[in-house]
Structure 1
Amino acid sequence: MSDAAPGPQSRAQWARVLIAIYGPTLLASIGFGAIIPLIPLQATALGASPGVAAFITAIPGIGMLIFDLPAGTIAARLGERLSIVLACLLDAAIMVCVYLAGSITVLGLAVFIHGMTGSIFQLARQTYVTDAIPLKYRARGMSSLGGVFRIGSFIGPLAVSALISGGEIRNAFVFASCTSLVAAAVTMLLPKLSADRAQQVNAAGERPHTFKVLADHRHSLLTVGMGCMALMMLRTARQTIIPLWGEANGLPPHTVSLLYAVSMGFEVLLFFPGGMIMDRFGRWWVCVPTTFLLGIGLALLPVTHSAGSIAILAAILGMGNGISSGIVLTLGADAAPRFGRSQFLAGWRVLSDSGQFLGPMVISAATALSGLGAASVVIGALGVLGGGWLAKWVPRTPDQIADFRPKD
């Protein structure tokens, strides 16, 4: 795509690309957002302790982490459209299994597969956007992708709050199944798009091999990639601990879902300004302040006890997370080579998804030892350390992004 102002034909091409990127993402994220705050509550409804419930919440992250590298191969070989359709159809079936789950074991297995489908969906999306959006608009494109996900994550809990206020928590999983089916149907109606239009063969006629690609670009992965892992740990910890903290303070499930929707609402307001800041001033000025804000905010959670105070802190965390929408995707795209792009981004997702796994795991362990309040302080302190790491390694200005990108 050219950086020039689009003509009528270009605008039609852009419209097709934007619908292909954002339409299925919105639909799938509505269902995803609906169930995220309710997974720990469904676990406790099946008899799990708070520590076990936090572990159940970590299981989708484990599924994503294990399947990240295979997802890169799948997205490159099958193409974006077919990868998304298969992921959505499988996810729809899994949500029905969660609805029918009568034990913690069945619930855990179902949400594990849910994480695997999410890995395919998100890897295919990121790979395509990396190639389809020009560099000068990349952060806005990625932040909009994250913003659409946040819009869906705002609509989902809001809709489900009304749904479960007069019924069972598990009804939310039927709702999520329906949104995945609609996302699959919409994707099938779109033109076929390549999951990765980057180089498939290098000058020597070789095809990219995952572990060689990761070894060749290990510096980016072990510096900025590790910082992104810390940021994702904070984000997932927030999703886990706020519902559990609300329940521990006596709030009913529909109020907990509403509080989560409030947090997501503030995220939706700031995703595009965050992308503009990243494109104009540099990635550093978004990711570093956000990481510090999330870390400090989570450390302050134990001083909140009423619905109002929890809602205020959730809103602050939502604002901090919203302005950094798409930052992990953007930094991954900045660091990705053309040759072996899908394989590199799969490795990048291993690091970011490791953070998604570690957040609930740290909460689970710290909760078992000292309670939810202590867990929140621990995860907040780790987040502050992650902010310092990112401050050292992330390029500060747009001019430095070119130096950060690998030479093919």
Structure 2
Amino acid sequence: MSAPPAAPASPPDFSFRSIAIPAFGPSLLFGLGEGAILPIIPLMARELGGSVPMAALIVTLIGLGSLLSNIPASLITMRWGERGAIVAAGLWSAVGMALCVFTGHLALFALGCFMVGMSQAVYNLARQSYMTEAVPLHYRARALSTLGGVMRIGMFIGPFLGAAAVHAFGLPGAFGVGIAGVLAAAALGSRVPDLPVPPPPPGQAAPAATSIASMLRDHRRTFLTLGLGVTLLSAVRASRQVVIPLWADHLMLAPAVASLVYGLAGGIDMLVFYPAGKLMDLKGRRWVAVPSMVIMGLGMLAMPFTAGFNTLLVAALAIGFGNGIGSGLIMTLGADHSPRHGRAHFLGVWRLMADIGSSSGPALLSFLAGALSLGWGIAAIGLVAFAAAGVLAHFIPARVPR
């Protein structure tokens, strides 16, 4: 009986240091730029005469712009390449932010926010596609987890820089920080080296161009199985951003206390992305995907039973930890299952499914909170997390991809 094939050795000549600045630097700057403006958008909308519901609607236009631009983002990446798409996304985001600053009309301000969302889709797909090609498979989860973690660090730092700029220059100051951040990301992204196009195997012609329709047909089973798990996972992740402040308000905690709880949960979120990525590379994606959803589900189910700061903090930290270990998980699963030819199209559909989940989670929470109660709505999101854990446990391969 022949021995089973040994796992391939990790490439000895690869170093994260070689891609740190061109790959991770733009993500930090892009996250910083967008993080600086996000808390200020509803305030600017109100200053321009919008009502509170209108201000909330304008904030959702960022997510809507990303959702509707995932498929066009794949076309842009296929046409211009990853480096061109990263640069274009930074420039387009800067134009959208400038429109927000220099207009006095609420409709144009809303258009600028929609443009920022569009740039998110292009940038996120291009950076994921680039890292999938540039990093050896043995390091893929670590690289993509770090990519997601660095973006979160930028989103965490951005509001503090934006607040300092607002204190000095008023609300437009935050957009100045945002524009500087995304333009710096575009400038650094322009230095990303082009990836070599692999030649076709000997004796074979170059593959024909892949369409979105053929991609959906060829990979429909992956989208309908593992893609469903990713949609559920995204719904839980997006809901966590709403759950903590809403339940803190329900407990009648001071806004500063609610912000502290949210910030501490975000802090633990940023501390665990690299160890989780290493675990995925060594043991398999399932070892992180399932615990991530189970821990978040338990935190969600526990939250309606919290009665004060201490118990709320414990539940929030559990949710933050579960979310943190899943950093880069969606990108890693998409990279694992994407084909070499037509990868941008596959990832465009993959990110579309994730964005559908991100939009559906808070909507479900809102509906159940209105129809039943906030506690029942949060508990339902916890059950969605368990459903996601079940789907991911069933459909993620047990072994590390080779």
Name the residue aligned to 2:52: 48
CA distance in 2, matches of 1:241, 1:198: 46
Identify unmatched segments of 5+ residues in structure 2: 1-8
How far the C-alpha of 1:74 sits from its partner, in A, is: 0.3
Greater mean alpha carbon deviation, residues 108-117 or residues 64-73: 108-117
| Residue 80 of structure 2 is aligned to residue 73 of structure 1 | no
Which residue identity is paired with 1:193? Answer: D
How far the C-alpha of 1:319 sits from its partner, in A, is: 1.2
Secondary structure, counterpart of 2:241 in structure 1: helix
Name the residue aligned to 2:11: 4
Root-mean-square deviation (Å): 3.2
CA distance in 2, matches of 1:44, 1:243: 21
How far the C-alpha of 1:363 sits from its partner, in A, is: 2.9
CA distance in 1, matches of 2:302, 2:59: 22
TM-score scaled by length of structure 1: 0.83
Q: In 2, are the aligned partners of 1:57 and 1:360 still within 8 Å (CA)? A: no
Q: Please point out which of 175, 179, 182 is paired with 1:180.
A: 182
| Residue 226 of structure 2 is aligned to residue 224 of structure 1 | yes
Deviations 1:192-223 (A, max 9, x none): 424x8467998475111121022101111111
How far the C-alpha of 1:53 sits from its partner, in A, is: 6.7
Name the residue aligned to 1:291: 293
| Residue 390 of structure 2 is aligned to residue 388 of structure 1 | yes
Which residue identity is paired with 1:4? Answer: P
Name the residue aligned to 2:65: 63
Greater mean alpha carbon deviation, residues 343-352 or residues 232-241: 232-241
The 1:357–1:225 alpha-carbon spacing in structure 2 relative to 1, beyond 3 Å, is: same
Name the residue aligned to 1:88: 90
| Residue 302 of structure 2 is aligned to residue 300 of structure 1 | yes
Greater mean alpha carbon deviation, residues 240-249 or residues 386-395: 240-249
Greater mean alpha carbon deviation, residues 221-230 or residues 85-94: 85-94
Q: Please point out which of 20, 24, 27 is paired with 1:25.
A: 27
Q: What does 1:341-352 correspond to in 2, within 5 Å?
A: 341-352=343-354
Q: What does 1:66-145 correspond to in 2, within 5 Å?
A: 66-98=68-100, 108-145=110-147
CA distance in 1, matches of 2:326, 2:44: 30
Q: In 2, are the aligned partners of 1:301 and 1:313 still within 8 Å (CA)? A: yes
Q: What does 1:229-308 correspond to in 2, within 5 Å?
A: 229-246=231-248, 249=252, 251-252=254-255, 258-304=260-306, 306=308
The 1:371–1:156 alpha-carbon spacing in structure 2 relative to 1, beyond 3 Å, is: farther
Q: In 2, are the aligned partners of 1:59 and 1:115 still within 8 Å (CA)? A: yes
How far the C-alpha of 1:33 sits from its partner, in A, is: 3.3
The 1:75–1:183 alpha-carbon spacing in structure 2 relative to 1, beyond 3 Å, is: same
Deviations 1:264-305 (A, max 9, x none): 221221011001110111111101111122233233333446
Between the two proteins, the alignment pairs up a number of residues equal to 389
TM-score scaled by length of structure 2: 0.84
Q: In 1, are the aligned partners of 2:31 and 2:155 still within 8 Å (CA)? A: yes
* Percent identical residues: 37
Name the residue aligned to 1:405: none
Greater mean alpha carbon deviation, residues 146-155 or residues 161-170: 161-170
Greater mean alpha carbon deviation, residues 82-91 or residues 275-284: 82-91
CA distance in 2, matches of 1:362, 1:33: 25
CA distance in 1, matches of 2:210, 2:337: 16
How far the C-alpha of 1:156 sits from its partner, in A, is: 2.3
Q: In 2, are the aligned partners of 1:208 and 1:340 still within 8 Å (CA)? A: yes
Identify unmatched segments of 5+ residues in structure 1: 403-408
The 1:44–1:200 alpha-carbon spacing in structure 2 relative to 1, beyond 3 Å, is: farther
Q: In 2, are the aligned partners of 1:298 and 1:379 still within 8 Å (CA)? A: yes
Which residue identity is paired with 1:113? Answer: M
* Greater C-alpha Rg: 2
Secondary structure, counterpart of 1:300 in structure 2: helix
CA distance in 1, matches of 2:174, 2:243: 20
CA distance in 2, matches of 1:375, 1:323: 24
CA distance in 1, matches of 2:105, 2:372: 27
Deviations 1:371-407 (A, max 9, x none): 5444322322222222211121111222xx35xxxxx
The 1:35–1:226 alpha-carbon spacing in structure 2 relative to 1, beyond 3 Å, is: farther
Which residue identity is paired with 1:47? Answer: S
Which residue identity is paired with 2:149? Answer: G
Q: In 2, are the aligned partners of 1:88 and 1:183 still within 8 Å (CA)? A: yes
Name the residue aligned to 1:193: 194
Greater mean alpha carbon deviation, residues 18-27 or residues 233-242: 233-242
How far the C-alpha of 1:238 sits from its partner, in A, is: 1.3
The 1:30–1:287 alpha-carbon spacing in structure 2 relative to 1, beyond 3 Å, is: same
The 1:138–1:303 alpha-carbon spacing in structure 2 relative to 1, beyond 3 Å, is: same
Q: In 2, are the aligned partners of 1:28 and 1:180 still within 8 Å (CA)? A: yes
Deviations 1:26-60 (A, max 9, x none): 111123334456656777885325xx776555432
The 1:321–1:119 alpha-carbon spacing in structure 2 relative to 1, beyond 3 Å, is: same
Which residue identity is paired with 2:11? Answer: A
CA distance in 2, matches of 1:72, 1:276: 28
More RCO (CA 8 Å, sep 6+)? 1
The 1:321–1:43 alpha-carbon spacing in structure 2 relative to 1, beyond 3 Å, is: farther
